[in-house]
Chain A
Amino acid sequence: MDFTLKIWRQEDANAQGSMKEYKVTDISAETSFLEMLDVLNQNLIEKGEDVISFDNDCREGVCGTCSLYINGEAHGPKKLVTTCQLYMRSFKDGQTIYVEPFRANSFPVVKDLVVDRSAFERIQQAGGYVSFNAGGAPDANAIPIAKEDAADAFDAAECIGCGACVATCKNSSAMLFVSAKVSQFAYLPQGRVEATERVLNMVNQMDNEGFGNCTNTGACEVECPKGISLENIARLNREFLKANVVPK
C-alpha cells in the first residue's frame, strides 16, 4: 500500500509548527500505524533528515504513551484501540493521512507529535490514592467485595491516561479521565474513607490546570480507547455534589 502523509512538525514548544508532506510506499496491511512511521523515519535517516518524534512505548495498547490525532480522530479511525494497535488495513491504498499531536492548552507540544501531559500527573497527585502505608495491611480477604463492584472498579481503572478524551473534547475537558479514577475508588470500600477529599481535590486541580468544562457532548467516550463510560462522569458529578453538601 502507498500513502501520502501530512504530518505536524514543530521543533520545540516555542517554535511555530506546520504540516509537512511525506510519502511512504510498499507498506503491508499487517504493518501497524507506528511501524509505518518507523519506515518513514528510516527513510528520513537515509536522507540525513531529522526524524519525526512521536511518543510510544509498550505498543500493546496499555501504557497510554502513544497519542496521535489521525485524520481528525484521537487514535485514528478504529474504535477502542490506541494508535499503536491501529493497523494499516484500516486505511485505503493511496489514502492521504493527516497526523497531528493531541492538542489542548493543557498539553503543550514538546516536539512534533509529542506532547506534555504532566497536568494529568498533578491531578492524580491531588487525590488519586488511598492513604495507606506499606506493611500492616489486613488480610486481603478480610473485606469481601462483591464481584460486580470489583468488576466495575476494574472497568474504570482500565483508563490508560492517554488524554484522547481531552484531545477530542471541544472544550478540552478532562472529566472522563478524572471520573475514571474517582469511580474506581468510589466502587471500593477502601476508597470510601477519603471519597470527599479526593473528589474535591482532584476536581479542583483539574480546574487549576486549565482544562475546560464538560458540556456532555459525549465525544470523549466515543474516542476513548479503553471504552471508559460516560456513566463515570455522572458518578463523578454525584460524588462532587455529595462532597459539597457534606460538612467537612
Chain B
Amino acid sequence: MTTLNSKIPEGPIAQQWENYKAHTNLVNPSNRRKLDIIIIGSGLAGAAAAATLGEAGYNVKVFYFQDSPRRAHSIAAQGGINASRNYQNDNDSDYRLFYDTVKGGDYRGREENVYRLAQLSGNIIDQCVAQGVPFAREYGGTLANRSFGGAQVSRTFYASGATGQQLLLGAYSSMNRQIKAGKVKTYNRHEMLDVVIVDGKARGIIARDLVTGKIERFGAHAVVVASGGYGNVFYLSTNAMNCNATASWKIYKKGAYFANPCYAQIHPTCIPVSGEHQSKLTLMSESLRNDGRIWVPKNIEDVKAIREGKLKPTEIAEENRDYYLERRYPAFGNLVPRDVASRAAKERCDAGYGVNKAGFAVYLDLEDAIKRLGKDVVKERYGNLFDMYENITGDNPYVTPMMIYPASHYTMGGTWVDYETMTTISGLYSIGEANFSDHGANRLGASSLMQCLCDGYFVLPATISNYLNEDIHTGPIATDTADFDKAEADVTGLIDKLFAIKGSKSVDYFHKKLGKVMWDKVGLSRNEKNLKEAIEEIKVIREDFWKDVRVTGKSNQFNNELEKAIRVADFLELGELMAIDALNRKESCGAHYREESVELDGPQKGEAKRNDKDFTYVAAWEYMGEGKEPKLHKEELTFNAIELKQRNYK
C-alpha cells in the first residue's frame, strides 16, 4: 500500500525551498533532450510548465481539447493575481501572504507548500512583466494594486478585468517560442482518456483526436496533469462549458489518490440564474467587493414590492438597507472570504430577503463608489464587468445595483500531491487547479492564478529533475506494448459501450440531474441526512445513465455529444466521492459547511465551527475498484509557523 509521504524538506519553513533546490537531483542540459514529458492542459499551469520545461531543454508534448492553447479556461479569470511585493508599502510580506492564505483556507492546507507559494509569488510578477503582460499601472509608471477578499493589504496585480487572459497569453507566448524552437509540440483538439502505467510508473497516455475520433497512444518519461478543476460537477458554474474532471478521474482510477473532494468553492458574486435554458453562470469579479457594498432591504415589505416591480432598489433609503456583511463582520466588511460571503447571502435569501423574482439574489451596489471616485474611475476599474453585466441582464449597473448570487466556481480539492507536485503514482504530476493544492478548504481571490503559475514556472521545473534523473538511460518509451494495448482497449471499450446504449435521454439531461443533487445536498450547506440521500440519488442517476443515455453521431468524427458523455460519466462518479468525503468530514471548515458543526454561543455564535482535534488532516481517497468503497488515507497537518486559530473576520 502506498503511504502518504509529503516529502517536506528539512529546515525552518523559510529555508525549505532553498534547501530543497540545493539538494535535489538534477539532469544536465545535454541529457534533457533525451527525456519526454507529456502535459495535459494548456491553461496557466500547463502552458507555464510547457514553456519552462521546453526552455530547460526537455521534449514536451502538450494536449488540450480546445482548438488553441490560448482558449483554456484560465483565459476567463478576471480579477487579478496576488503577490507579496509590498509595492504599496502597507506592511505586506511573504509571511503575511502565507498567513492570509493558510487562514483563508481555514487551516486545512499544507503550510510548507503555502510558504513556498508566497515566497515565489513576487517572481511570478517579474516573469509576467518581462513577457510583456500589460498589468495596470499608476501615473508614475509603477505597477498598480487592488485589494481582494480575505486580506487587509493591497497585493493584487491586475490587467483591467482580464487578468487571466493577459497572464495566459503571456504563458502562451512563451510556449509559442518553444514551439518554434522545436522543444514543445502541441496536440490541439485532443482529449486524454487514460494514463498508461508501466512497472508502477506513468509512461504515457491514451488520447482521442476530437476531429477524426482516432484513439492514439503517446509515450513519455513523465506525465503532468494540468487539467483544471471540477466545478462543472454542479452543471451550472462559472467554469467554461467544457471544463471537466476526466483527466483527474482517470488517474484516480489508476491509483492516484484524490484529496479533499468535498472542498468546492461557491463564489458569492455571480449573475443569478434567469431560467431553465441556463447553460452557465457568469462571475462578477470579486474585485467589485473592493468598492461595492452588498445589501438586501431591511424590511420584508420592501422585498415584496421590489419583486413585484413596484419599488426600485435606488428608492430604498439608506437606513432601510441591511448591509449584512458590514453588520456581521465589521473588521472585514464586504471583503470577508468567499465562503463567508456566500453563506451570508444564502442566509438572507433563505430568510426571505432575496431580491429577484425567484428570491435568490442580493444587491451589489457601487453607488457610493461612483459618488466617491466619480464614474470615470469606476469605469476604468470595472468597465468591462459592467458592460458584461448589462449585456447579460439588460440592466445598467451605473444606474441600478447589480443583482448577484453564489455559484459553483472553483475546486480546492483535487489529486493529492507531495511537495514536488507528484501524485501517488511515480512520474505522474498534478499542477494548477487540478491538484488539491495550497488553498486548504477555501481559496482566497487572486490566489489561483498565483498557484497555477507558481507550479508551472517554478515548482514543477525544479522538482521534475529529481525523478527524471533516473531516466537518462531509459531511451524513448515504446507504445507498442501490452500495457498500452490494454489501456487503448479500455478506452475503445468505453466508447463502444456508450454508443451501444441507444437510450432515450440526452447527456445534458443526466448532467442537469446530477447538478441539482449536488447543489441542493452537497452545495453551500450540508448535513448528514442530505449527504446520505445524495449518495443514493447519485447512484440511481448513474445507473439510469448507463441504461438510458443517448449518444448521437459517430465515434470517428467530431462529436461533442460523445465528449460530453465521457465527461459526465466521470462526474457521476466524482459527485459521489464528494458526498462521501463531505459526510466523513463532520466539521465545518472553509467552503465545507456542516450544519451540525456551528458555534453555539459566544461572540462567534452561529458561525461555522472547525474541529481541529479530529479533522486537521487532508483526506486522500484511494480507488478500490468499481462498486467498492474508496479507502481513506489521512495526511495529518501540522502547523509550526502559524498558530492554529479559529478564523475571525468580525
Residues of A within 8 A of B (CB): 11-12, 27-28, 30-32, 34-36, 38-39, 42, 44-46, 48-51, 53, 55-65, 80-81, 85, 87, 89, 110-111, 114, 116-118, 120-121, 124-126, 128-135, 137-141, 143-147, 150-151, 153-154, 157-158, 160-161, 184-185, 187-188, 190-191
Contacts and interface: CB of A to CB of B under 8 A. Distances in A.
Nearest to A153: B134
Contact of B279 (A35, A125, A184): A35
A215 to B, nearest CB: 27
Contacts of B388: 60-61, 85
Contacts of B177: 125, 129, 131
Nearest to B75: A63
B553 A48 contact: no
B555 to A, nearest CB: 12
Given A60-B388, A137-B130, A129 B188 contact: no
Given A31-B275, A36-B277, A114-B558, 10 more contacts: A32-B279, A48-B552, A50-B554, A117-B68, A125-B176, A125-B180, A137-B126, A141-B142, A144-B137, A158-B162
Given A49-B552, A134-B51, A140-B85, A85 B278 contact: no
A225 B172 CA distance: 21
Nearest to B71: A63
Contact of A63 (B87, B135, B240): B240
Given A87-B392, A132-B174, A35 B278 contact: yes
Given A65-B67, A85-B388, A144-B142, A129 B558 contact: no
Contacts of A188: 132, 134
Given A32-B279, A38-B277, A128-B173, A134 B87 contact: no
Interface string B316-353: 00000000000000000000000000000000000000
B138 A130 contact: no
B140 A144 contact: yes
A151 B71 CA distance: 23
Nearest to B550: A45
B173 A134 contact: no
11 contacts: A39-B277, A58-B71, A58-B241, A60-B283, A134-B48, A137-B126, A137-B127, A151-B137, A154-B159, A154-B160, A154-B162
A62 B165 contact: yes
B58 to A, nearest CB: 13
B383 to A, nearest CB: 12
B131 interface: yes
A31 B141 CA distance: 43
A28 B169 CA distance: 36
B458 A130 contact: no
Interface in B451-490: 457-458, 461
Nearest to B128: A140
A198 to B, nearest CB: 11
Contacts of B119: none
Contacts of B55: 133-134
Contacts of A39: 277
B279 A38 contact: yes
B132 A53 contact: no
Contacts of B552: 44-45, 48-51
User: Taking chain A's interface residues, is the majority helix, strand, or loop, or is none over half, making it mixed?
Assistant: loop
B147 interface: no
Interface residues of B, number: 80
B76 A138 contact: no
B635 interface: no
Given A81-B391, A117-B67, A120-B68, A57 B73 contact: yes
A11 B554 CA distance: 11
Contacts of B138: 147
A35 B277 CA distance: 6
A61 B68 CA distance: 16
B435 interface: no
Given A35-B279, A134-B52, A146 B137 contact: yes
B553 A130 contact: no
B71 A57 contact: yes
Chain B CB within 10 Å, residue with most, of A110, A114, A121: A121
Given A35-B279, A141-B143, A191-B132, A125 B127 contact: no
A48 B277 contact: no
Contacts of B66: 57, 63, 65
Given A12-B557, A130-B130, A132-B130, A158 B392 contact: no
Interface in B138-185: 138-143, 159-160, 162, 165-166, 169, 172-174, 176-177, 179-180
A210 to B, nearest CB: 18
B274 interface: yes
Contacts of A129: 131, 173-174, 176-177
A57 B87 CA distance: 36
B282 interface: yes
Interface in B58-95: 66-68, 70-71, 73, 75-76, 85, 87
A124 B179 CA distance: 10
B285 to A, nearest CB: 11
A137 B129 contact: yes
| Chain A to chain B: the 8 pairs with minimum beta-carbon distance, closest first | A144-B141, A129-B173, A137-B126, A153-B134, A137-B130, A154-B134, A111-B558, A150-B137
Chain B CB within 10 Å, residue with most, of A57, A80, A87, A147: A57
A164 to B, nearest CB: 15
B647 interface: no
Nearest to B125: A140
Contacts of A118: 67-68, 188
Chain A CB within 10 Å, residue with most, of B122, B159, B458, B558: B558
Given A51-B553, A190-B131, A59 B280 contact: yes
B123 interface: yes
B200 interface: no
A57 B242 contact: yes
B648 interface: no
Given A111-B557, A131-B177, A137-B129, A62 B87 contact: no
Contacts of A55: 67
Nearest to B127: A137
B241 A57 contact: yes
Interface string B403-436: 0000000000000000000000000000000000
B646 interface: no
Contacts of B141: 144-147
Contacts of B506: 42, 45-46
Contacts of B508: 38, 42
Nearest to B165: A62
Contacts of A130: 130-132, 173
A220 to B, nearest CB: 19
A65 B242 CA distance: 11
Contact of A126 (B180, B274, B275, B558): B180
B399 interface: no
B548 interface: no
B379 to A, nearest CB: 13
A195 to B, nearest CB: 11
B126 to A, nearest CB: 4
Contacts of B123: 135, 137
A59 B558 contact: no
Given A38-B279, A114-B558, A190 B129 contact: yes
Contacts of B392: 85, 87
Contact of A124 (B125, B176, B240): B176
A146 B275 CA distance: 45
Contacts of A111: 211, 557-558
B560 interface: yes
Contacts of B85: 140-141
A85 B394 CA distance: 12
